[in-house]
Chains A and B, each alone.
Chain A
């Protein structure tokens, strides 16, 4: 007897200890900011003060039920109901403990309860069976997605379990869907304490196309219709994420699949989608017969490059394609995407632009004739200045020259004032700032003036880079002769003529004279001077380096010069060739000063 009493006492003690532990231990994974009531409950459980636990948790439950009803509140409520139920069981209040379990299960019908004893588990499970309904969803295919929504509930659809699950009693709308299959929706009425089985079989309706590409960003079209663009994989895989395209219905003719991206060679494929019937043969030898989906797991697109080879009539001309600097003229640019491109070639002396079409593996040759571009402004924009009434573009059109671009630009009043009023160095500085800003070779201002004897009432003032004195041209749009005169002047080319003996020369340390490095085979020195020779005299001038050689030649006015070479006793006579350098489109006195030719 004593031993039985001892055994009962022990059992009771173990149970109490288990309940204390269940109440006192926070639910795993809960956040650290726990309500005071739960913390107090844990403390009180250790002291066995069940009544006070019930009071404390009741306050918490009331507060949570009046709260926002979010996920965190839901979790806390479940914990509070569970602990209050356990405390009530401890005080012998089973009816109210059942109410707590019922409330808990309404929040989470499939709650996994770690009961401290089989008896308490029985209470919990009995409550579940009597208040909830069981639904067993059998799905074909098994990987379809099922969502359910309770009628009248404001909460969104939730993913449902496949197989058996507990649900609160009520009316439900259950939707099963899978890409490539019809979507089915079923309405079920669940009653408390009742189990219900719901088989759902989805029917195949379309094939699904899955595409993964290298590179990413490839547009995928089916029969010309854009179906999507492949996206970069998040794991660094060079292949894109799988692009899934639904709605490929069976038909007798093939689909035309096209994958394309700028600067890559498009790829096409034909896609047959056979009738639905043959997909049912799961055991068929041909996988395509039972899997209607089509996989393009690694479609690689080849780069579609062509070459643009630009040659320019000025050295070191910078070539830009579609606004991006790509190199210098003379060096072919081999990685130009197929398609239409805008080519811009610039040097300090001029600009050139052209649109070209580049085809795959093709080379487009562009001969750039760089001509200066002047920004033209209407001086009337400045208050008090004599401007040009009417359309500036009309004037630009009238005086258009083939070797000089005039491009209307807009200047702020202060900039224009500095152009009109400044002189010499300040004007040069102001001009150069503007040229830098607009990336042009000169600035032209147009203004009306008092007509002269020939009726010329317009004045065009042109300022080139580095120049402080404008070239001034007068004309009248009513006088065609004067307009032609302006055009002729703008197109005039300045020839810089310099005497030459047709050699290249450099300076070398400890060598007095100009060391010849190259001789023009068609020039006047071809048979008399050789690379390696050292020129030490021209006429009566001693030549100590290249600079003195150039100076001596520049002064030469005779048709021939006497050249003395080191290590050769007798001077040689060489014809002087007048070599002409053309600075195109800058045929104006001051505007020639892009830089002074030697």
Chain B
């Protein structure tokens, strides 16, 4: 039923192709991946590169080529997903949903099929569900009581564990809110996940999971200086971004802590990185919201526009499709990857209402985990 107008036109062929994928082992090469050099992987890398460079049509063309030429390769599923993500980036969310469903039906049982379902859920919530609140309160994930005060960041791993960075401690909680570990500290500044491993950002360096702290040296006017880290984020597992108060800039460092370059002169209090490597930052003194492209160019998001007005952004996050979520004290403002304003979620006095949000997390299916400072609760909205 994914085929548009039920099997007329080109999409029917696409569905046929999907089924070809499911039967692919019968007739295709044994394993494209097993071939020397894995051309599908190389092509996928090339497609990713042009996508990151902003040449989306070219990237889609390359992804489609992988799907056509290496239908039985694991890269075909990833290519179909990336095609859909690219379409979302172009504002073509309807064909993206169909593409996602093709992945879901054609690659049953694979992680990509699961991701396709999650992403269609995001698009359904943000684009398709008309006349209804974008989110509904689902549950309280963590009752912080006196435990979680002055929360800076909240994040999760794939097993549902909740990681919380506060001004006083790093805390890990299990799916039902029980404490797994808690470590007091007074110089914690942020948190970001690298896969399922938390990267804790301290004033002078980073710590991966429970490893030792790795100091970071910032290059400033040809001198090595200790940073004064305010926030941090992970760029697709390749590098980290740190917001340094001393140089009032966002810097790029390797995952092992080696300094790479200064990305942008932005004195950021919070920072998040999207799926294409673009970053969003809240400026520390002005509270202004800025987008930072992978090449360092910055673009402000207006403080007010049709349908929204920022009163003081608290935190920022991206979902896997590149939608940008901006947390305010009592609401979340959502923008499309194209920059188009989509909606505001303000629970008001409804169940789960928050008025003093301090940090939030957006998971792979677009669910919101909002920590309310006064209520001392981490609440889930879906």
**Which residues of A are in contact with B by a Cβ distance under 8 Å?**
314-318, 325, 327-328, 331, 347-349, 428, 432, 435-436, 465-466, 496, 498-511, 514-515, 517-518, 520, 523, 531-532, 546-547, 549-550, 553, 577, 579-581, 583, 594-598
Contact with A along B164-203 (1 / 0, CB 8 A): 0000000000000000000000000000000000000000
Nearest 4 Cβ contacts at the A-B interface: A500-B6, A316-B68, A520-B5, A595-B20
Task: Decide: A465 and B27 in contact? CB cutoff 8 A.
Answer: yes
Task: Decide: B120 and A315 in contact? CB cutoff 8 A.
Answer: no
Decide: A435 near B27, CB < 8 A? Known: A506-B2, A579-B6: yes
How far apart are A389's CB and chain B's nearest CB, in angstroms? 33
Show 30 A/B contacts (Cβ-Cβ < 8 Å), sorted by A.
Answer: A314-B13, A316-B14, A316-B67, A317-B68, A327-B61, A328-B65, A331-B57, A432-B28, A435-B27, A465-B27, A466-B26, A500-B7, A503-B5, A504-B2, A505-B1, A506-B2, A507-B120, A508-B121, A517-B98, A517-B128, A518-B98, A520-B6, A531-B128, A532-B130, A553-B1, A595-B19, A595-B20, A595-B23, A598-B3, A598-B16
Task: Decide: B4 and A520 in contact? CB cutoff 8 A.
Answer: yes
How far apart are A592's CB and chain B's nearest CB, in angstroms? 11
Residues of A within 8 A of B117 (CB): 507-509
How far apart are A581's CB and chain B's nearest CB, in angstroms? 5
How far apart are B332's CB and chain A's nearest CB, in angstroms? 19
Task: Decide: B28 and A325 in contact? CB cutoff 8 A.
Answer: no
Task: Decide: A348 and B20 in contact? CB cutoff 8 A.
Answer: yes
Residues of B within 8 A of A317 (CB): 68
Task: Decide: A581 and B8 in contact? CB cutoff 8 A.
Answer: yes
Instruction: Please report the C-alpha to C-alpha distance between residue A309 and residue B65 in the assembled complex, in whole angstroms.
Output: 16
Task: Decide: B124 and A432 in contact? CB cutoff 8 A.
Answer: no
Instruction: Please report the C-alpha to C-alpha distance between residue A549 and residue B105 in the assembled complex, in whole angstroms.
Output: 13
Known contacts A466-B26, A498-B6, A506-B124; 8 additional CB pairs below 8 A are A315-B11, A328-B68, A348-B20, A349-B16, A428-B27, A432-B26, A507-B104, A507-B117
- Is B38 located at the chain interface by the 8 A CB criterion? no
Task: Decide: B101 and A581 in contact? CB cutoff 8 A.
Answer: no
Instruction: Please report the C-alpha to C-alpha distance between residue A515 and residue B121 in the assembled complex, in whole angstroms.
Output: 10
Q: Which residue of A436, A510, A518, A596 contacts B4 across the interface (Cβ within 8 Å)? A: A518
Q: How many A-B residue pairs have CB under 8 A?
A: 155
- Is B159 located at the chain interface by the 8 A CB criterion? no
Decide: A517 near B94, CB < 8 A? Known: A503-B6, A507-B120: yes
Instruction: Please report the C-alpha to C-alpha distance between residue A511 and residue B125 in the assembled complex, in whole angstroms.
Output: 11
Task: Decide: A508 and B120 in contact? CB cutoff 8 A.
Answer: yes
- Is B69 located at the chain interface by the 8 A CB criterion? yes
Task: Decide: A546 and B5 in contact? CB cutoff 8 A.
Answer: no
Task: Decide: A532 and B27 in contact? CB cutoff 8 A.
Answer: no
Interface residues on B, range: 35 or more
Q: Which residue of A348, A509, A547 contacts B121 across the interface (Cβ within 8 Å)? A: A509
Interface residues of chain B: helix, strand, loop or mixed (majority)? helix
Task: Decide: A504 and B1 in contact? CB cutoff 8 A.
Answer: yes
Residues of B within 8 A of A518 (CB): 4, 94, 98
Residues of B within 8 A of A547 (CB): 105
Of residues B1, B97, B100, which shows the largest number of chain A Cβ atoms within 10 Å of its Cβ?
B1
Residues of B within 8 A of A598 (CB): 3, 7, 15-16, 19
- Is B356 located at the chain interface by the 8 A CB criterion? no
How far apart are A558's CB and chain B's nearest CB, in angstroms? 16
Q: Which residue of A331, A553, A577, A597 contacts B61 across the interface (Cβ within 8 Å)? A: A331
Contact with A along B51-83 (1 / 0, CB 8 A): 000000100110011011101000000000000
Task: Decide: A596 and B19 in contact? CB cutoff 8 A.
Answer: yes
- Is B118 located at the chain interface by the 8 A CB criterion? yes
Residues of B within 8 A of A508 (CB): 117, 120-121, 124
- Is B12 located at the chain interface by the 8 A CB criterion? yes
Task: Decide: B128 and A328 in contact? CB cutoff 8 A.
Answer: no
- Is B382 located at the chain interface by the 8 A CB criterion? yes
Residues of A within 8 A of B23 (CB): 466, 595-596
Q: Which residue of A316, A466, A498, A510 contacts B7 across the interface (Cβ within 8 Å)? A: A498
Q: Which residue of A348, A550, A579 contacts B68 across the interface (Cβ within 8 Å)? A: A348
Of residues A318, A503, A511, A515, which shows the largest number of chain B Cβ atoms within 10 Å of its Cβ?
A515
Decide: A318 near B98, CB < 8 A? Known: A507-B104, A595-B16: no
Task: Decide: A501 and B27 in contact? CB cutoff 8 A.
Answer: no
Residues of B within 8 A of A577 (CB): 6
Decide: A546 near B101, CB < 8 A? Known: A505-B2, A597-B16: yes
